[in-house]
Structure 1
């Protein structure tokens, strides 16, 4: 049960909280829109995978499943769901490109604390082909999703337990964008 009184027709999870207080929800949803959907050299699927990875480290069930499903639905890889599961279970052995693995490692370091991002981690990402914008955005995804995860879980947002509930929710956000989260239905 949420720690605050939510409207009956609220979205579950973080979108419901953004909808509850639109003054804070709008900028939070706009940040997610820019980080995860705007034009970028990293695919939307890869950026959502980074968000899902950080959310799994934070043990945020809602965000891990929402962003994991969004990564899968936007991927061209027919094994995307299996790849996602390997990334969240053991990044080191996950079958993803070296650049994405290095960026996930950076995001994971951010989840621990900003100073856990070392020159060595950044150097590995650069060696794998990451540019400054990709490194910048990865650090911001790691930081933002640590905040979103704590927002969702800190207010005990309603979270569907059935992983299949995230399939239509992800499809709706892919279609309509994150800004719809703060506006409501």
Structure 2
């Protein structure tokens, strides 16, 4: 376990958390065996933490016709890599490995999504998602039409943009606060849980 600080900003102790965050954090820690550093780093601003997690859950904890939970995590990994966000690449890479049941996919996507063994649909999704992450003004109506042409519904197309946008915020906050990935994330989805 690393003893480095998890944020450049104050990190409240669990007993200082607002009740709704304390309950959510306890649940996450019980299910995963650890509390992701981003939770601790955001806790000092409880209203913002609650809003962030509410939007996260609305976008990431669902399956739709064009985007599985694994697909959603792959979008986060590719765009976070484009934004040089170590925390999000490592943390969401772990979740992508678990949800995709593939111990290699997150590394392949983070290094070069264009060469990753993904479906043509996911290649199209990542092409548009990464463009939005690094050069938002370059995204055109034709890009959205391309996604529709690959079978994404109108809601799926919106979700691609919303996921990229939420994680652009997350990437920048992780940089701003210097949030390091938890050591536990490096092994999740690579080795069987004990």
The higher-RCO structure (CA 8 Å, 6+ apart) is 1
Match of 1:4 in 2: 9
Q: Any unmatched runs of 5+ in structure 1?
A: 171-185
1:115 alignment partner, one of 116, 137, 141:
137
Q: C-alpha distance in 2, partners of 1:60/1:43? A: 23
Match of 1:88 in 2: 110
Aligned residues between the structures = 164
Q: C-alpha distance in 2, partners of 1:83/1:166? A: 15
Q: Any unmatched runs of 5+ in structure 2?
A: 15-24, 26-34, 190-194
Contact kept? 1:6, 1:20, Cα under 8 Å: yes
Which 10-residue stretch deviates more, 142-151 or 107-116? 107-116
- Is the radius of gyration larger for structure 1 or structure 2? 2
CA RMSD of aligned residues (A): 2.3
Q: Taking structure 1 as reference, are residues 13 and 116 closer, same or farther at Cα in structure 2, changes over 3 Å only?
A: farther
Contact kept? 1:54, 1:108, Cα under 8 Å: yes
Q: C-alpha distance in 2, partners of 1:33/1:169? A: 20
1:1-185 aligned within 5 A: 1=5, 2-7=7-12, 11-41=35-65, 42-76=67-101, 80-160=102-182, 162=183, 165-166=184-185
Contact kept? 1:53, 1:88, Cα under 8 Å: yes
